[in-house]
Amino acid sequence: MSFDLLTDEQREIRELVRTLAAEKIAPRAAEIDESHEFPWDVVDVFRDHDIFALLFGEKYGGTGTGTLLALIAMEEVSKVCATSGLILAVQELGSLGIKLAGNDEQKQRYLPKFASGEWIAAYALTEAGSGSDSAAMRATAKRDGDHYILNGGKRFITNAGVAHVYVVFAKTDPEGGHGGISAFVVEVDTPGFEVTRLEPKMGISGSTTGELLFTDMRVPAENLLGQEGEGFKIAMRILDRSRPGIAAQALGIAQGATDYALDYAKTRETMGKPIAAHQLIAGKLADMETECEAARGLLYRFGMMADAGIDGPELTKASAMAKLKCGDVAMYATTEAVQILGGYGYIKEYPVERYMRDAKITQIYEGTQEVQRLVIAREMVREDRAFLLAGV
């Protein structure tokens, strides 16, 4: 892993994040998982070292260092603690609606507070009956003078109960399908807003996942993002750019598990030699490393494309490919890491069982792997590949 295409500045910041992860976050990872408590001390580490700022432009108090470096930071943190890596990924997810569709006043109000870490962001699209099918959402928003009245609820919302600001999607036209959805910025102290449940989960245990309830919640009309009916388009543009954050988390998990399994295999001996010298174990390690590097290529390619200003179908496809590959590699590499450690891999004294539990969600949220395949195939069908048949 000595060769990369990063600039000296990017390498320097990567080393800073890597050091912080090793010294400040790694010693807390098992405790965070065991306690199921949101790690505010990790948030303080990110605040104190301007890590949240990596996600934002200089105009709003960020570093302006771009998408690729933000993804690298998420990857590095996730190598030691997937919950902590998710904090960065969801700060990006929750703020993207404002970045992409907010007006100047909305951006000035919220983005500097996100960049400093003063406020934590969240994204509220999913409902109990509308996960992959956003048009089936039932939350409504009715205009009432200079406010909208929101009723309904959301489920499986990351950062529920800890976020200060939520980007919420609701139907301003209940019969309008995708075209009836609108997006709103909702502050946590808005009357009628309630977190009704936090979910116990298999993995990423220190990250809160909860259910929201809106009861005659009055949201100022000035908090509408874009125009009425543009919510679905905004949500899809957000997901194109947020899925790679989960891909970065997944890649970090995969590489962290691979690195731990390698270290174990170099020191654990059977039949008079380290198990890394046994061909079957060596083969597993080689495949794990190769899969991680292949996934990293797709993820970093997306980051470079985003930093180059590429948008539209090409970015959508690259995003889905990165998320699909990294999520699958996370599940594969962590499963193999447990196998390499054998019985030790199955007990909590060793971290690979946590890596394996954390990995699974990366194949589900921000669009399931099945949805990613549909997105990739859809974009393939739309592409003009007639030149491939020229002369045949």
Would the CA dihedral through 319, 324, 329, 335 be positive or negative?
A: positive
The alpha-carbon radius of gyration of the chain (Å, integer) is 21
Give the DSSP letter string of 233-259: HHHHHHHHHHHHHHHHHHHHHHHHHHH
Give every CB contact of residue 353 below 8 A, 6+ residues apart in sequence: 338, 345, 346, 347
Q: What are the backbone dihedrals phi and psi of residue 173, each rounded to the nearest 5 degrees, phi first? A: -130, 95
175 is written with which tokens? Answer: 């019969």
Question: Would you tell me how many other CB atoms lie within 10 Å of the CB of residue 143?
Answer: 13
The token duo for 326 is 């990294």
* Phi/psi at 203 (5° precision): -140, -170
Question: How far is Cα 338 from Cα 334, in angstroms, rounded to an integer?
Answer: 6
The torsion defined by the Cα of 217, 223, 228 and 231, in degrees rounded to 10, comes to: -90
Give the chain's length.
Answer: 392
Query: So which residues are the catalytic ones?
Result: 366
Q: At what angle do helices 67-78 and 82-101 cross, to 10 degrees?
A: 160
| Residue that has been written with the tokens 């065991």 in this structure | 34
Tracing tokens 């874009």 back to the chain, one arrives at 226
